[in-house]
């Protein structure tokens, strides 16, 4: 699920929704960069997979090296989530991002996202 934009005040309602429906399945959450990974892991990590939230405008405007650095930071913050972590943008991949930018995600995942 991708709750777009600033969803910080809605997090308790997402938790209540799961409890109300007595839902036991594992969910994958992909919040935008407005919701820190630390909060996502704290609220959902024991039950669900957390998706990364690399800032989409930064993907479009920053250099390849800077995007790799942002991905590395995202991986370091999320990779110890108990239910798993997926490196991804905090929303759709920017349409005007250079083709090298998805490669920055792959390179960062290969270099920093290996579980040992």
Q: Where are the domains of the chain?
A: 8-112
Helix, strand, coil distribution of the chain in percent, nearest 5: 45, 10, 45
What was the pLDDT predicted at 18? 86
pLDDT tens readout for residues 25-72: 999 999 999 999 999 999 999 999 999 999 999 999 999 999 999 999
Q: State the pLDDT at residue 115.
A: 80
Q: What is the value of pTM for the model shown? A: 0.93
pLDDT (average), residues 83-110: 97
Asked if residues 67 and 111 have their Cβ atoms less than 8 Å apart, the reply is no
CA distance 116 to 102: 24
Tell me what pLDDT residue 23 has: 86
């Amino acid at each position: 699920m991708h709750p777009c934009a600033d969803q910080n005040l809605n997090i308790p309602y997402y938790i209540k929704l799961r409890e109300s429906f007595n839902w036991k399945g594992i969910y994958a959450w992909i919040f935008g960069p407005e919701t820190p990974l630390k909060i996502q892991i704290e609220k959902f990590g024991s039950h669900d997979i957390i998706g990364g939230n690399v800032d989409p405008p930064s993907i479009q405007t920053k250099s390849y090296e800077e995007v790799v650095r942002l991905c590395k930071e995202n991986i370091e913050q999320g990779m110890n989530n108990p239910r798993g972590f997926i490196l991804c943008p905090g929303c759709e991949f920017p349409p005007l991002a250079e083709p090298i930018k998805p490669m920055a995600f792959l390179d960062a995942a290969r270099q920093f996202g290996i579980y040992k």
